[in-house]
Amino acid sequence: MAEGERWRASFTVPGAVAGYYQVLVNAYTHGPDGGPWLFDESHYSVWMYVSGTDGQLTRLFEDSIFPEGMRPAPGPLMADSAPYFAADTTGSTPWHEDSVYIEVVYYISQSQGLQPAVGTEVFAKYSNFGRSTWATVGESGIVAFRCPQEGRVMWIGGKVPQTFYVQGEKKVMPRVALNDSFCGQRIYAHVSKYLYLSWRNLDTSAEAITWHFWHSRPRIDWKVDFSKKSETYYSRNSDEITLGWRLTGRSRFLWVAAHEYGHALHHKALGGGWNAPNRDPHNNDKASSYKCALKEGFANYAGTIGSVTEDDPDGYYGKCYEHLGTPDAPSWPPWCRNITHYRKAEIEAWVAALFMDLIDDTEEDGDYTEYDAFYVARVFKTCQVKRSRRILPDKWHDRKNVSDIVWCLENRINPVVHRQVFRGIDSPIGVREKADEPDDWNHHHIRWTWLKNLKFGGAGL
């Protein structure tokens, strides 16, 4: 299509018994690579009246369309004498003529269809100067408000609330007016899936990550990037997470939100972040630097913890990191099995696998540790190394390299092993941390576990 042109198409709606029904249309498109950027979805609804012989479409619900003696209500035609309520989708709350019922939904895909926007806060306001009445969307997706008086309107709209973990107040549902003709009816209200899913995924993953590491941080602010590049990142300067709209609704999006929250937790609750070379871009399976691999590897592990669901109890990439570089690894993504074993300590996936092996209770060859996540996070937070500065006095530095963490975990340094595994960076001359070692702490077990994940060829030193 050229600029300014229109596209039209006709579709057949499946037959229905005589009545008045709301029809939802969801249209999707994609702009050309490189722009211009387009909103790739559009939602539209109309009312469809079906009689025994023909039909009619109306933009809004209109009482005048009903034949004499028939009740002006959505659904199959009913006589005026028929009972005036029907059960909602939960089968627990009747639809009464003195209320308006709002089904608050978002659209993911054709296969998943409309889903209830659970947690959204919806308001109803009956005058410009009156107070708003609020209701929170539950599992049914339906909230109810009293009808406006005859001849008057009520305004409805919605936002996502502030939680213990994330900021809210984002307007996710447009403000619309309803009159008394909607009394006793259920209507659909669409929220922005870009804003709603960003809020929900951040809140869900932040809670899981916080409880896993038993460290917390202040409530995080966030926004959605609607630019052409649609980048996703955490900013230490503004303490804000930016999520790219292109990922919304994809299976990987929960992991992405959890990954970025891992960075945010790291910076505010686990000793602070750092600038890392070779980080833009960085990839799960590509060598970058020791600093980048530690920073991103921790966030990747946090992403896996924060993306655990009933349908995916291992979390996104969980099976991948657990069996990384072995025939037991998942076939997708392909790098899980085929990842290089060279320069492992500079590859973030291998570092994520190290965090997993330090903490998980899975017994496998080379994994000899099963430590509490709080202990590992405490070492990660408080680890410091002393480096020789030759002329100037030696000085303690916060951990930034993968090697710093493994020597802090061991509470000792082996310069020979360091030179063999961490080539290109000098061995520190001292390490210290403030974590309390667990009863089953064993520096030999720690050595075998980290060598399995970071040394070319695995353990053996």
What does the block give as tokens for 443? Answer: 């520096």
Do 111 and 223 belong together in one domain?
A: no
| Among 191, 207, 241, residue at a domain's last position | 191
Do 373 and 259 belong together in one domain?
A: yes
Residue 88 domain-assigned (yes or no): no
- For 391-418, give one letter per residue: b (16+ CB within 10 A) or e: eeeeeeeebbbbbbbbbbbbeebeeebb
- Per DSSP (E only), the strands in 291-344 are none
Do 131 and 257 belong together in one domain?
A: no
H helix and E strand count, the chain: 10, 18
| Among 139, 160, 191, residue at a domain's last position | 191
Residue 24 domain-assigned (yes or no): yes
Residue 241 domain-assigned (yes or no): yes
What does the block give as tokens for 109? Answer: 């895909």
Residue 333 domain-assigned (yes or no): yes
State the pLDDT at residue 42.
Answer: 60
Residue owning tokens 């509490």: 372
State the pLDDT at residue 93.
Answer: 47
Peptide bond into 333 cis (omega under 30): yes
Residue 30, burial from CB neighbour count under 10 angstroms (0-12, 13-18, 19+): exposed
**In what order do the strands lie in the sheet containing 55-58?**
55-58, 41-50, 19-28, 75-76
Do 178 and 294 belong together in one domain?
A: no
| Among 136, 157, 191, residue at a domain's last position | 191
For β-strands 99-107 and 186-190, DSSP reports them as parallel
Helix crossing, 348-359 with 373-382: angle to 10°?
130
The tens place of each residue's pLDDT in the chain, 461 residues long, gives 666 677 777 777 666 678 877 776 666 555 555 555 455 556 566 778 888 777 888 876 677 788 888 877 667 777 765 543 333 434 444 567 889 999 999 987 766 778 899 999 999 999 777 788 999 999 989 999 999 988 888 999 999 999 999 999 888 988 888 988 888 888 889 899 999 999 999 999 999 999 999 999 999 999 999 886 778 999 999 999 999 988 876 778 999 999 999 999 999 999 999 998 766 678 899 999 999 999 999 999 999 999 999 999 999 999 999 999 999 999 989 999 999 999 999 999 999 999 999 998 776 776 789 999 999 999 999 999 998 877 667 789 999 999 999 999 999 999 999 999 999 999 999 999 999 999 999 999 999 999 999 998 655 55
State the pLDDT at residue 91.
Answer: 41
Residue 12 domain-assigned (yes or no): no
Contact in structure between 336 and 352 (CB atoms under 8 Å): no
The number of angstroms, rounded, from the C-alpha of 437 to the middle of its chain's C-alpha atoms is 33
Do 391 and 443 belong together in one domain?
A: yes
Query: Cα(461)–Cα(446) distance, rounded to whole angstroms?
Result: 13
Contact in structure between 120 and 104 (CB atoms under 8 Å): yes
Query: Cα(348)–Cα(332) distance, rounded to whole angstroms?
Result: 17
Phi, psi angle pair for 257, to nearest 5°: -60, -40
Do 229 and 259 belong together in one domain?
A: yes
Q: For residue 170, give the CATH number of its domain.
A: 2.60.40.1120
What does the block give as tokens for 307? Answer: 């993306």
Q: What domain range is 325 assigned to?
A: 196-454
State the pLDDT at residue 38.
Answer: 52
Do 400 and 326 belong together in one domain?
A: yes
Closest CA to 247 of 265, 230, 264, 267: 230
pTM > 0.75: yes
Residue 141 domain-assigned (yes or no): yes
Closest CA to 264 of 218, 332, 197, 329: 218
Do 407 and 316 belong together in one domain?
A: yes
Closest CA to 276 of 294, 261, 264: 294
Do 209 and 178 belong together in one domain?
A: no
What does the block give as tokens for 282? Answer: 């960085």
Residue 2 domain-assigned (yes or no): no
Do 221 and 179 belong together in one domain?
A: no
Q: What's the structural domain count of the chain?
A: 3
Do 143 and 174 belong together in one domain?
A: yes
Residue 1 domain-assigned (yes or no): no
Do 382 and 278 belong together in one domain?
A: yes
Residue owning tokens 């209200």: 189
State the pLDDT at residue 114.
Answer: 84
State the pLDDT at residue 87.
Answer: 33
Query: Cα(394)–Cα(229) distance, rounded to whole angstroms?
Result: 44
